[in-house]
Amino acid sequence: MATFTHETDYLIVGSGAVGMAFADILLTDSDAKIIIVDRFHKPGGHWNVAYPFVTLHQPSSFYGVSSRELSKGCIDKVGLNKGLNELASGAEVSAYFDDVMREQFLPTGRVKYFPMCDYKGDGKFVSSLTGETHQVIVNKKTVDATYLNTNVPSTHTPSFTIAPEIQFMPLNDLPKVTQPPAGYVVIGGGKTGIDAVLWLLEKNVNPDDIQWIMPRDAWLIDRKNTQPTEEFFVDSIGAQASQMEAIANSDSIEDMFDRLEQAGVFLRIDTYVQPEMFHGATVSQMELAELRKVKNIVRKGRVTSIENNQIILEKGTIPTSTEYLHIDCSASALTNLAIKPIFADNVITPQTVRSYQPVFSAAFIAHIELAYPEEAKNKICNVVPLPNTLMDWLRLTAAFMMNQYIWSQDEDLRKWLLANRLDGFSQLMRSVKEDDTEKQAIVQRLRANAQPAIEKLQQYLAQAQAKAN
């Protein structure tokens, strides 16, 4: 089989959202040549295999590549996101990345794109279609844009056994249902579980016909507080100010989460159940009201097996039958919680440097690669860890605040952030006029409580570390 040799400045492994956002900055802010390798047949990463009714969880303004708007700039007028900035559908996101590749990247002549290829390491990849081997000579760096790969239901292998007669499917296949089952069993309490329940309710399934297996309850974010446009300033920046106040004024971790809920920063489905998980999932108030209609929620830990007449969980069993449809939402989107240096020798490993925003983070890291000396890069790009447990929320918030402080001390970085469309909150802060007393008061609350909040977070984290030791 033939072997082909290529030479490039940057080899980017992965043409998902992270790889595309990174490449976009290289193209617009330098004359670098790029080779992009991906196992899928077109750009978009996990969007190629996402369930058909998936949407972005946060406003479209926060997503995509820096140089091309994804958002249509409109407010949803119908549905459970009514009154908030629109959420692009999976199909829209997939088409968007395909357009970026075909209309922006490839026409430059500086990008070579190799889809349907398996990357083997050390600059070597093999075509899944032809078997041809390719070897890349990389003059600058390799970018591993696969490190934060998202696990999706359609390619997920359940960690439990399933009797052959049981009706079982990933939520991808829900639109293919042709015969109504005796009931629906949704397995998983994360965002995919939420999406499955909301989709069933939207299709007029009786809430009493839905059984929801929720191994852990989660704190959720009110989507209204994530809106990047000026009409939502009081909600978005106000929520950040309220968050700082809640942390600063708390006297324990438990008290802090209570205050965050009282301030409207966090939501939960059942106010009588203490959440144990935080993945950064967002919901609207209308979605939350729908979710609360489902009363048959099973809190007995994770599923270990599904038999013809019962489901065995870590903390007990519940009855089932082959007449029920079991929907797998147990895949965790978080495939890699380990942190590694973003810049290490000739390899860049993009990770989140701002909470919940891997795409912005990729663009930011690409900018730092181009604009700063090697010895400064990791100091500017401290990793904000992906959350799973409640303590992870403390860690990510502390890391996020530390990064924000470091960036605020650099005038060039402040200018870049203000000009980058993926950073809507810098523009929101910049929009505040001196005579706008309401907004100025919110900004002052935010600034006054920031330092006490970071000190309180560091205190709680030190206490937790001491207790663990």
Domain co-membership, 146 together with 46: yes
Taking only the tens place, the pLDDT of each residue in 23-60 is 999 999 999 999 999 999 999 999 999 999 999 988 99
Q: What is the CATH number of the domain that holds 207?
A: 3.50.50.60
What per-residue confidence (pLDDT) applies to 433? Answer: 87
Q: Mapping DSSP to helix (H, G, I), strand (E, B) and coil, where does residue 55 land?
A: strand
Q: Are residues 115 and 71 in the same domain?
A: yes
Q: In Å, what is the CA distance from 387 to each residue of 38, 55, 270, 468?
A: 27, 21, 21, 19
Q: Which residues contact 126 (CB under 8 A, 6 or more apart)?
A: 117, 118, 120, 132, 133, 134
pLDDT value of position 226: 94
308 contacts 165 by C-beta, under 8 angstroms: yes
Q: Quick check: 232 pLDDT over 70?
A: yes
Mean pLDDT of 316-328: 97
- Do 37 and 63 lie in one domain? The reply is yes
Residue 271 Cα distances to 129, 218, 223, 300, angstroms: 52, 11, 18, 18
Is the pLDDT at 268 greater than 90, yes or no? yes
Judge whether 29 lies within some domain: yes
Find all residues with CB under 8 Å of 327, minimum gap 6, and list them: 169, 170, 171, 174, 184, 185, 186, 187, 196
Looking from the CA of 39 toward its CB, the CA atoms found within 13 Å total 10
- Note whether 295 and 168 are same-domain residues: yes
Residue 3 has pLDDT above 90, yes or no: no
Report the chain's mean pLDDT, rounded to a whole number.
94
CB 171 within 8 Å of CB 153: yes
Give me the domain span that covers residue 308: 154-219+268-328
The proportion of the chain whose per-residue pLDDT surpasses 70, expressed as a percent, equals: 97
If one counts every other C-beta atom within 10 angstroms of the C-beta of residue 251, the result is: 9
Q: If we measure between CA atoms, which residue out of 377, 190, 409, 211 comes closest to residue 294?
A: 211
Let me know whether 318 and 432 are in one domain. no
At residue 2 the predicted structure's pLDDT band, cuts being 50, 70 and 90, is confident
pLDDT, tens digit, 9 for 90 and up, residues 115-169 = 999 999 999 999 999 999 999 999 999 999 999 876 666 677 898 999 999 999 9
Q: What is the mean pLDDT of residues 92-109?
A: 97
pLDDT of residue 148: 80
- φ and ψ at 112, to 5 degrees? -115, 130
Beta strands per DSSP E along 242-342? 266-267, 282-283, 297-298, 303-306, 310-313, 316-319, 324-328
- In a shared domain, residues 376 and 457: no
In a domain, 227, yes or no: no
Strands 297-298 and 210-213: parallel
Is 94 contained in some domain?
yes
Percent of the chain, pLDDT > 90?
86
Calpha distance 185→169 (Å, rounded): 11
Copy the structure tokens of residue 450. Answer: 């920031």
Taking the C-alpha atoms of residue 220 and residue 459, their distance in angstroms, rounded to an integer, is 24
In a domain, 31, yes or no: yes
Side chain identity at residue 131, one-letter code:
G
Tokens for 264? 């409207």
Confidence of residue 73 (pLDDT cuts 50, 70, 90): confident
Question: Would you state the structure tokens that stand for residue 426, as one six-digit string?
Answer: 């810098």
For the record, the structure tokens of 365 come out as 């890291």
3-class SS at 449?
Answer: helix
Q: For residue 89, list its beta bridge partners.
A: 55
Q: What are phi and psi of 58, to 5 degrees?
A: -125, 165
